[in-house]
Amino acid sequence: MNMSFTYDALPIRVRFGRGTVAEVATEVARLGAQRALVLTTPQQAGEGERIAALLGAVSAGVFPGAVMHTPVEVTEMALAALRESGADCVVSVGGGSTTGLGKALALRTGVKQLVIPTTYAGSEMTPILGETQDGRKTTLRSLNVLPEAVIYDVDLTVGLPAALSATSGVNAIAHAVEALYARDRNPVISLMAEDSIRSLSSALPILVHEPGNMEARGMALYGAWLAGCCLGAVGMALHHKLCHTLGGTFNLPHAETHTIVLSHAVAYNAPAAPEAMAAITRALGAPDAAQGIFDLVRALGAPRALADIGMPADGIERAADLAVESPYWNPRPITREAIRDLIARAHAGERPVAAVPAEEAA
């Protein structure tokens, strides 16, 4: 078999298990840090206080102001709190919003990061930061924002509501799916991606009905970790470009946007990525990748229409314009009319369609 690829392993320490959050002070000490500021969203301030108590004398307090899409104005407030606290480390507790804030602080100050995920976002494993300013979301990739350490504690995900478990989990599946047809894909990451999709698609339907099922919780968090590894190691394509555009422009909830768009992006790329589609169908145990994802989302009771999560109908044309303005690399050429139709179907909650535009069929 003729193979040629590049694989860069990211320098990040991972602790995975149950009850591992008890080691938070030890992990901060391993980083050589003296004082740690805990970051959370307003909703998870209580959890942040609990982590601060576990840190003991190392704690520099809690900043509970993280919000979606990492707006720069929130980062400025957190910067002031960081400087005032004298902390040389941040402990980011929560999902992608909190992790993003920690990364934004690391980018500006070089502060060390320990992340304790409570969702399946996966951004804790990546050197990627998305920030929003004046309604536009921009993304950068730099080892300067890669967290030094991550504590995965399955017990901390038990409180994740069934609906959020579903959308956060499909968001993770999206990372794995795009890794399978990324321009810089490699066999190691493809193995992780397929196992991630298999683990999450098996665990999520159980969690919707049994939120306290610890075996399923563990499997979902394991799948999310693998998905984060994929997202951190290889590039992104059409799906992530669309979600960044839609989320940043219309302030849509991140995980729900990914959940709705994924099957449509997969259908769009199916003709150009047969090996990836075969891996997805194997992992899902479904005859078709795009339809299998759509059916999984439906079975989870998750949103299927962008209209239902706040995207206005008159935003479809604008979104299509933005999506083709500076597109990510994609296995299939991106044409405005095809993308406009894709967004319209996702807006209406229709089934994905794998039609090939006339200009490509010719």
Each of the 362 residues of the chain gets a pLDDT tens digit; together they read: 457 888 888 999 999 999 999 999 999 999 999 999 999 999 999 999 999 999 999 999 999 999 988 999 999 999 999 999 999 999 999 998 999 999 999 999 999 999 999 989 899 999 999 998 887 878 899 999 999 999 999 999 998 899 999 999 999 999 999 999 999 999 999 999 999 999 999 999 999 999 999 999 999 999 999 999 999 999 889 999 899 889 888 989 889 999 999 999 999 999 999 999 999 999 999 999 999 999 999 999 999 999 999 999 999 999 999 989 888 899 999 999 999 999 999 999 999 997 665 455 44
Cα gap 26→149, rounded to integer Å:
11
Q: What is the pLDDT of residue 358?
A: 46
DSSP 221: H
Phi, psi for residue 113 in degrees, rounded to 5? -125, 130
DSSP state of 144: G
Residue with tokens 């002070």: 25
Residue 64: DSSP 8-state: -
Question: What are the residue ranges of helices labelled H in 44-161?
Answer: 45-55, 72-85, 96-109
The total of other beta-carbon atoms located within 10 Å of residue 333's CB is: 11
Instruction: Check if the beta carbon of residue 38 is closer than 8 Å to that of residue 55.
Output: yes
Torsions phi, psi for 290 (to 5 deg): -65, -45
Q: Is 18 exposed, middle or buried (0-12, 13-18, 19+ CB in 10 A)?
A: middle
* Separation between Cα atoms, residue 356 and residue 45, nearest integer Å: 48
**DSSP H or E segment with residue 254:** helix 254-269
Query: Where are the domains positioned within the chain?
Result: 13-157, 162-361
Nearest to 284 by CA among 177, 166, 161, 171: 177
- In one-letter notation, the amino acid at residue 329 is W
Output the pLDDT for position 81.
97
What is the maximal distance between C-alpha atoms in the chain?
68
Per-residue confidence (pLDDT) for residue 1, from 0 to 100:
45
Q: How much is the pLDDT for 327?
A: 81
Q: How far apart are the first and last CA of the chain?
A: 33
Which CATH number applies to 162-361: 3.30.70.360, 1.20.1090.10, 1.10.3720.10, 1.20.20.10?
1.20.1090.10
- Domain 13-157 matching CATH 3.40.50.1970: the answer reads yes
- Cα–Cα dist 90/93, whole Å: 9
CA 14/CA 20 separation, integer angstroms: 11
Inter-CA distances, 90 with 44, 50, 102, 140, Å: 16, 15, 7, 20
Question: pTM for this structure?
Answer: 0.91
Confidence (pLDDT) at 135: 78
